[in-house]
Amino acid sequence: MSKKTVSLVLGSGGARGLAHIGIIRYLEENDYEIKSISGCSIGALVGGFHAAGVLHTYEEWLKQIDTLEMLKLLDFKGSGGIVSGNKLMQKLQDLLGDHLIESLDIKFTAVCTDIEAEKEVWINSGSLLSAIRASISLPLFFTPFITPSGKKLVDGGVLNPVPIAPTFHDDTDLTISVNLGAEAAPDMPIKKRKKSDTPIRQKLQHYLKTLSLPDTFIKEDNMYGIANKSFETLQGALARMKLAAYPSDIEIDIPRNLCNTFDFDKAEELIAYGYNLCKKRTDL
């Protein structure tokens, strides 16, 4: 029996996107062949590693990294964003290697936003690492990615958090989309910390204090936190609109309250959540 071919759409949503890894693992184990990936933000990162055939290296690193090592990757010296992202991208390059998108065995598109032209940008050629960097540029947190022509690119989720359109002309059996901004669920198996207890948030607050910013920006219900929550709310609304207009064959919904945006130290639980969610479905 031949495998079902899949166009996989991986949405944006911070640490919730680690569930993408579990979903990919489930599909691989159950006679699905991923032929095409369209992703934005964390979806572009996970999808890019899979398209390059090295998702296992990223997965193992996530499971082994401790909080201190994670914090060392945050270089709070950005202009146009709190974090420049240079240390993180160097680590990702070590894990990923050098790849051209057009040379990958799996068709891949990273979706970004041109912040000045106010339009969606699809990157489907050139450096895979650069495409990932552009797509994960969360506004306020990461500095924008500047292209050789001077375009400023930020997180694709600003305009399209579940980018189905790049898969429209794929010759595959199924399109499967993963929405990380789905309706909140009452009972989550992954225990959430208070936001102020998140290691990355603690370091962020410490850095903000060094900038002599007003208390309203630094305290737990700060302006950055409100902006981040507002961005996630907007993403959820955009995702619902996009999926209603362009429904996929199978939609996998990840509750938006699964974890906090920066809970990357919960990798093992989040990966397992994605895998087990697929396992419970009757249409996969």
Q: Which residues are catalytic?
A: 41, 155
Antiparallel, parallel or unpaired: β 4-10 and 32-40: parallel
User: Crossing angle for the helix pair 86-96 and 42-51, nearest 10 degrees?
Assistant: 20
CA atoms in the 13 A half-sphere facing the CB of 10 = 37
Q: Is the dihedral of CA 102, 108, 114, 120 positive or negative?
A: positive
Look at residues 17, 87, 6 and name the one whose alpha carbon lies nearest to residue 263. 17
Look at residues 111, 148, 150 and name the one whose alpha carbon lies nearest to residue 132. 111
CA distances for 29 relative to 3, 217, 254, 278, angstroms: 11, 46, 20, 11
Instruction: Tell me if 180 sits within 8 A of 13, measured CB to CB.
Output: yes
Instruction: Tell me if 75 sits within 8 A of 48, measured CB to CB.
Output: no
